[in-house]
Structure 1
Amino acid sequence: MTHDWQRFFDARQCLSSRRGRGMGDDLELMVHDGPDGAFLTVWDVVRDVTRPVAGAYGDPRNAVLSGDGRAVLNLLDDNGSEMGHLWSVPIDGGSGTDLTPGLPPYTLRGIDVARTGALAVLSAVAEDGFTLWLVDTDGGRPPRRLFGSTAEAWNARVSADGRWASIDTTDHNPGLRRFAATVLSTTADAPGETIRTLSDGPEAPVRGIRFSPVPGDNRLLVSTERSGHQRPCVWSFTDGSRIDLDAEHLDGDVVPLDWSDDAAYVLLVHVDHGVHRVLEWEPDSGRLRAVDHPAGAFFEADIADAHPDYWASHYGADGQPRLLHQRFDLPLTLLREDRGDATVTPVWTPSLRPAGVALTSHIVRSIDGTPVQLWAGRPPGRKGPAPTLLSIHGGPQLVTVDRYTPEAQAWLAEGFAYAAVNYRGSQTFGRRFREGFWHTIGERELEDIAASVHWLVHEGIADPRQIFITGASYGGYLSLLSLGRLPDLFAGALAFVPMADWLAAYADMNPALRSAWRSFFHADPDDDPEVFHRASPISYVDGVRAPVWISTGTHDTRTPPRQVHRYAQALEKAGGDVTVEWFSGGHETNSRNSELADQRRMMELITKAMHGERWAEGPVTPPPPGSIGYM
């Protein structure tokens, strides 16, 4: 194989851009990928000056700017373990400050900064449960606890003036991830007093998006699902009144992202079968306007992390929409829409834009008739079936959007077809679809994967003898599970940080993950271990006939290393062809060099598989001493 595909990795310079929330300068905190890891810069939009952020600031994708724009706030942990403390790190690289010095290590599940004053809120998860904290970003006072519960609660939000905070709670629905938005006071005379909770009943979640950017405006932008699909709502939490956008003429989710600094406009994205269309809503008049823009994705939803989106379009200080835009074949670009003349112009574009292959959206019918969205693309010039990579996203409640994907372009450049399926569990396809994996972990997902494979073969895209499955996290889990339960469909699996043995993993998971999986399984492993055993790839190693490659982290508290090692040993004992490669770190890697090395390794292994050669070069090795579960 040639290495011409490497140009697609070189092209990806910016991963995301998140606007600072302070009332002063118009600043964007930008995450870039570099050869040795992701890094941060701060872009002063008005002056068009960019400066690097110095110092150790943790995973750049989770960082936010302080209100004055002089520091970044982020969780600092032990080698990617996601258990640590929130720190304030000066942009110029000065001495950082631990903002929660008296707390035990916790997982960060939400952070937001007030527009005025030196205040922020964070939602933390530790062994004692889910909590919401108010912190002084200058370290002037100790953190104040505003909320605590043993039921899932996260997604911290704070009002522009710092008087109110919100957190998404499940106390009304314990054990089910269907939230209500709860607003609390942060003032000294009533810290943590509940002002009001917005619930649409036990079936319909409500999630906080952002308080009004206008100080003193007591309204919270939320996402509701009364119709079964996401819709925006502006909620006046002091009197309980609300303005809903029902948009009955639109199929699919309408996702609220942000509102303008004067609180006159709300930026939305309508997602219909995976395709994004940007809208702007004026809550006071009810006017809904379509933004004219190029095809592609304009946000990517996250779940149970520091932010609700990996990256998302938003408003600039000038009140105009700032559209973060990308496609499978186009790296991240920033567009500015002028509302006055409805024009969209680029603000910055990637310096490298290698010609790639666009992927198209298709609807596949699963075994029970459920429509499932699939992205698919053929290699250039290929008319007949080709060897194929089927990509499975993680989460499970994440989603594959029309986002620049160097891995996809690399495979396509090497003559492979590439496809990515949004199986049941994915976001932005409605509540029923998102919850479609609940209590039957792995079952519906495998049905959707099998249907996608059959469609790719039927359409003449995939060579049925040369289909490989790959994914990270829950996508890695489904890759391993597919090899054990759908052995006739795949020629090999390439799994990153996978879940392989639910029972062995449970004790090593961070507390946030244990709570989530008890909810999704609707069971506790101590009371009903068989449910967890039945869902685990380790239970099906005797059925695996294709080779398996696993890359996983030593300090991962989501899919811990010990359970991966147990799976690999069991598969090896059953006569399977399995290779495990350990890297020092947690659940994700941020290095372009490591991604390039992974791509080379996968291409090498798939070439061997297509020539009938084994992948394993020796016995499975355990993780190094000091890894999670091997302390």
Structure 2
Amino acid sequence: MFIAGPRKTSKRTSVNTVGWARLSHRSSPVIGVPAFAAHDSGRAAQIREVDGRPQAVAWDVRSDRHRIVTAAPQGVDLCEIEPDGSHLWWFDAAERGVGRWLRQPFGGGRTTPAMSDVPEGRMYGIAFDHTGATSAVTIGNGEQSQCYLGVPGRQARLAIAATGFLGLVDMTPSGGTLAMAGRPDGPNAVCLRTPEALVQLPGERGRALWPLEFQPNPDVEPELLLAVESAAGYTVATWQPDTGVRRHDWLTFDTEITARWHGPRTVLVQQDRAGRSTVCTVDLDTRKICPVPTPEGTILDLTSSPDGRLHYLWSRTDLAPRLLVSDPDSPATVPEPAGRQREIWTGSIHSFLATPTGAGPWPTVFLVHGGPATHDRDCHDPRVRVFTEAGFAVVRTNYRGSTGYGPAWRRDFGHRVGLAQLDDLAAARAHVIELGVADPDRIGLAGYSWGAYLALLAMGVQPSEWAVAMAAFPVADYPAAHQGTTPALREVDEELFGGTPEEFPERYRAASPMTYVNQVRGSVLLVSSPTDEKCPAEQVERYATALRRRRVPHELVWVGGGHHSRDSADHASVMATMLRFATEVLTPRVPSLPEDSGDRSSP
């Protein structure tokens, strides 16, 4: 068992004292769209990669100069800017995701707690009123979601405490009403704390409900933008205190959407379908829908600046994410596509396929996405290039449960969690063999999180199909993982399975890789972190012990960084380990590893 210990880090956060400078995309890639100050279009906050980690950056838009605000050893996931542009906020978290909000003047200066008397916890959202006089943050503290209100830089008070996951979405311009998001198909899908009462808008299975944002105009009645699921697709809706929820059924899309306000009565809608994004503006009163020209590919994030221009993080399979800026009528320009990329449809199952140079069949790796409520797309994934340059074909399949293909595809497997997804992966496997792409004796799976879970499950359920599984931060024992994970992920599990392991033990057992460990025949790579709060290390270690007892060839590699390290060096290390393991097992053709080689070394 090869063990790599966590990297030693210094104090959690220190401030970079370097002043203002221009940052290029090459030297400091943009990771998310800017957060603009509502009342000062010349000031914004960004997350950019600095020395391999995401950090908070102040951006002076007028001079196009930047100031690196943080030097957080664990990186920074989110930063915000106060409406007047005076201060930046960022969430300072340790490996397990627990931390607090900090605040610093836009031009530099002393870093202080964003609000006092807020305990450390997981980040569950942030919002400001129109003026910035009132701020709200929600944290996950143990099994509770706690929302605190206060004046920035001063003492906060607890406004809401609820058991389970409840994320803060937005605040009305007046600061009088908070919108919180619960489980989309549950009784508290949307929770609205008004000055008079707590209002709950329920969702249900097949009719999920998501709160998006309040109309930012302070001179009109509060209006919350929503997305509603139905059998037909996803519909834009609005909520107002006096009228309740109003569905705009004429504005229904067949696949997943998100939306934001883009004027007094106009919304900006992004739709994701079959791995690509489109954008349109919609006038809710006149019902006029206008497509927004954007390059073909994937929009990872989207916002509009106070001057009405669109800022979006865009990518394509052959191009890394980049921030594009355009007027609604003037699309950004990008280079023409390049590379050996194509798509295949196996019936209704959609896959992206990349192959090396030369002629096949090749040893093949299925890169299995996590979620399951996400999807592989026409978007740059550096792992694809690493594998193809090493001589592997790469298949990325959007199995049932993936987004981007409509509500039926997301739910068309009942409670056969994992097993239905394996049916789809096996069908795609047979297809690439038939096409002459894949060598049937040299096909494996690689994944992270839920994708790693499917890789392990496949090794036991379909042992004759797969030669190797490379699973980073997986669910290996579903009942145990459910018990040890975060409240937010427990709710995801309960939505998938229809309840808890105590209510439906047979469903969790049928979906658990541990149930089938005695049937595993191929080689297994396990990567885990002692500080993984989402897929706990203990259940991964128990799975490795079960493999060792059966003398199944495997490695267990320990890394730092928790479930999702923000350090690019950690990602590169895991990728290098996967490539080495895949090369040993899949190519060149070599005899099987001896039965007693389950552990490579001792800790």
Q: Following the alignment from structure 2 to structure 1, what is the Cα–Cα distance between the partners of residues 31 and 305?
A: 18
Give the share of equivalent positions with the same residue, in percent. 23
* SS of corresponding position for 2:376: coil
Task: Verify: 1:619 aligned to 2:599, yes or no.
Answer: yes
**Could you say if the C-alpha distance between residues 587 and 137 of structure 1 is closer, same or farther in structure 2, counting changes exceeding 3 Å?**
farther
Q: Following the alignment from structure 1 to structure 2, what is the Cα–Cα distance between the partners of residues 276 and 19?
A: 21
Decide which moves more: 129-138 or 550-559: 129-138
Match of 1:43 among 49, 59, 62: 59
- Verify the 8 A CA contact 2:167 2:181 in the aligned structure 1: yes
Counterpart in the other structure of 1:344 = 331
**Could you say if the C-alpha distance between residues 427 and 133 of structure 1 is closer, same or farther in structure 2, counting changes exceeding 3 Å?**
farther
Q: Following the alignment from structure 1 to structure 2, what is the Cα–Cα distance between the partners of residues 246 and 156?
A: 25
**Could you say if the C-alpha distance between residues 513 and 343 of structure 1 is closer, same or farther in structure 2, counting changes exceeding 3 Å?**
closer
What is the one-letter code of the residue matched to 2:305?
G
Q: CA RMSD in A?
A: 3.1
- Verify the 8 A CA contact 2:349 2:424 in the aligned structure 1: yes
- Verify the 8 A CA contact 1:267 1:321 in the aligned structure 2: no
**Could you say if the C-alpha distance between residues 440 and 59 of structure 1 is closer, same or farther in structure 2, counting changes exceeding 3 Å?**
farther
Task: Verify: 1:144 aligned to 2:145, yes or no.
Answer: no
What is the one-letter code of the residue matched to 2:383?
E
Counterpart in the other structure of 1:257 = 259
Q: Following the alignment from structure 2 to structure 1, what is the Cα–Cα distance between the partners of residues 27 and 430?
A: 33
What is the one-letter code of the residue matched to 1:66?
E
- Verify the 8 A CA contact 1:407 1:599 in the aligned structure 2: yes
* SS of corresponding position for 1:390: strand
Q: Following the alignment from structure 1 to structure 2, what is the Cα–Cα distance between the partners of residues 357 and 224?
A: 38
Match of 1:16 among 32, 45, 61: 32
Task: Verify: 1:184 aligned to 2:198, yes or no.
Answer: no
5 Å matches for 1:222-301?
A: 222-240=226-244, 242=246, 244=248, 246-247=250-251, 251-253=254-256, 255-260=257-262, 262-299=263-300
What is the one-letter code of the residue matched to 1:81?
R
**Could you say if the C-alpha distance between residues 178 and 286 of structure 1 is closer, same or farther in structure 2, counting changes exceeding 3 Å?**
farther
What is the one-letter code of the residue matched to 1:239?
T
Instruction: Tell me how far 1:527 sits from its aligned partner.
Output: 5.3
Instruction: Tell me how far 1:345 sits from its aligned partner.
Output: 3.0
What per-residue deviation string (whole Å, max 9, x for no partner) do you get for residues 445-480 of structure 1? 111111221222222222222222111111111111
Counterpart in the other structure of 2:569 = 593
Task: Verify: 1:476 aligned to 2:452, yes or no.
Answer: yes
5 Å matches for 1:468-617?
A: 468-526=444-502, 528-609=504-585, 610-611=587-588, 612=590, 614=593
* SS of corresponding position for 1:518: helix
Counterpart in the other structure of 2:225 = 221
* SS of corresponding position for 2:571: helix
Instruction: Tell me how far 1:202 sits from its aligned partner.
Output: 5.8
Instruction: Tell me how far 1:169 sits from its aligned partner.
Output: 3.7
Q: Which runs of 5+ in 1 are unaligned?
A: 1-8, 300-311, 366-370, 624-631
- Verify the 8 A CA contact 1:269 1:278 in the aligned structure 2: yes
5 Å matches for 1:35-114?
A: 35-56=51-72, 59-77=75-93, 79-88=94-103, 92=108, 94-97=110-113, 99=115, 101=117, 103=119, 105-114=120-129
Q: Following the alignment from structure 1 to structure 2, what is the Cα–Cα distance between the partners of residues 332 and 428?
A: 19
What is the one-letter code of the residue matched to 2:66?
T
Instruction: Tell me how far 1:213 sits from its aligned partner.
Output: 1.9
Q: Following the alignment from structure 1 to structure 2, what is the Cα–Cα distance between the partners of residues 588 and 427?
A: 21
- Verify the 8 A CA contact 1:40 1:53 in the aligned structure 2: yes
- Verify the 8 A CA contact 2:187 2:204 in the aligned structure 1: no
Decide which moves more: 93-102 or 565-574: 93-102
* SS of corresponding position for 1:20: strand
* SS of corresponding position for 2:501: coil
Q: Following the alignment from structure 1 to structure 2, what is the Cα–Cα distance between the partners of residues 198 and 118?
A: 28
Q: Following the alignment from structure 1 to structure 2, what is the Cα–Cα distance between the partners of residues 157 and 164?
A: 9
Counterpart in the other structure of 1:160 = 173
Task: Verify: 1:401 aligned to 2:401, yes or no.
Answer: no
* SS of corresponding position for 1:432: helix
- Verify the 8 A CA contact 1:538 1:571 in the aligned structure 2: no
* SS of corresponding position for 1:563: helix
- Verify the 8 A CA contact 1:58 1:74 in the aligned structure 2: no
**Could you say if the C-alpha distance between residues 372 and 112 of structure 1 is closer, same or farther in structure 2, counting changes exceeding 3 Å?**
farther
Q: Which runs of 5+ in 2 are unaligned?
A: 1-24
**Could you say if the C-alpha distance between residues 134 and 297 of structure 1 is closer, same or farther in structure 2, counting changes exceeding 3 Å?**
same
**Could you say if the C-alpha distance between residues 441 and 235 of structure 1 is closer, same or farther in structure 2, counting changes exceeding 3 Å?**
same
- Verify the 8 A CA contact 1:85 1:101 in the aligned structure 2: no
**Could you say if the C-alpha distance between residues 445 and 322 of structure 1 is closer, same or farther in structure 2, counting changes exceeding 3 Å?**
same
* SS of corresponding position for 1:585: coil
Instruction: Tell me how far 1:567 sits from its aligned partner.
Output: 0.4
Match of 1:29 among 38, 42, 45: 45
What per-residue deviation string (whole Å, max 9, x for no partner) do you get for residues 551-582 of structure 1? 21111111011111100010111111111111
**Could you say if the C-alpha distance between residues 225 and 513 of structure 1 is closer, same or farther in structure 2, counting changes exceeding 3 Å?**
closer
What is the one-letter code of the residue matched to 2:246?
R
What per-residue deviation string (whole Å, max 9, x for no partner) do you get for residues 279-320 of structure 1? 111222211011222210013xxxxxxxxxxxx112122112
Q: Following the alignment from structure 1 to structure 2, what is the Cα–Cα distance between the partners of residues 570 and 224?
A: 44
What per-residue deviation string (whole Å, max 9, x for no partner) do you get for residues 220-250 of structure 1? 11111234422222333443363615346x5
Q: Following the alignment from structure 1 to structure 2, what is the Cα–Cα distance between the partners of residues 618 and 447?
A: 28
Q: Following the alignment from structure 1 to structure 2, what is the Cα–Cα distance between the partners of residues 85 and 536?
A: 35
Decide which moves more: 235-244 or 558-567: 235-244
Q: Following the alignment from structure 1 to structure 2, what is the Cα–Cα distance between the partners of residues 412 and 135?
A: 52
Task: Verify: 1:422 aligned to 2:387, yes or no.
Answer: no
- Verify the 8 A CA contact 1:36 1:592 in the aligned structure 2: yes
What per-residue deviation string (whole Å, max 9, x for no partner) do you get for residues 148-189 of structure 1? 44465334211233222111245xx9xx5576333222x5xx
Counterpart in the other structure of 2:339 = 357
Counterpart in the other structure of 1:117 = 132
Q: Following the alignment from structure 2 to structure 1, what is the Cα–Cα distance between the partners of residues 186 and 403?
A: 13
Instruction: Tell me how far 1:97 sits from its aligned partner.
Output: 0.7
Counterpart in the other structure of 2:324 = 335
Instruction: Tell me how far 1:269 sits from its aligned partner.
Output: 2.0
Q: Following the alignment from structure 2 to structure 1, what is the Cα–Cα distance between the partners of residues 340 and 267?
A: 30
Match of 1:432 among 408, 420, 425: 408
Counterpart in the other structure of 2:349 = 372
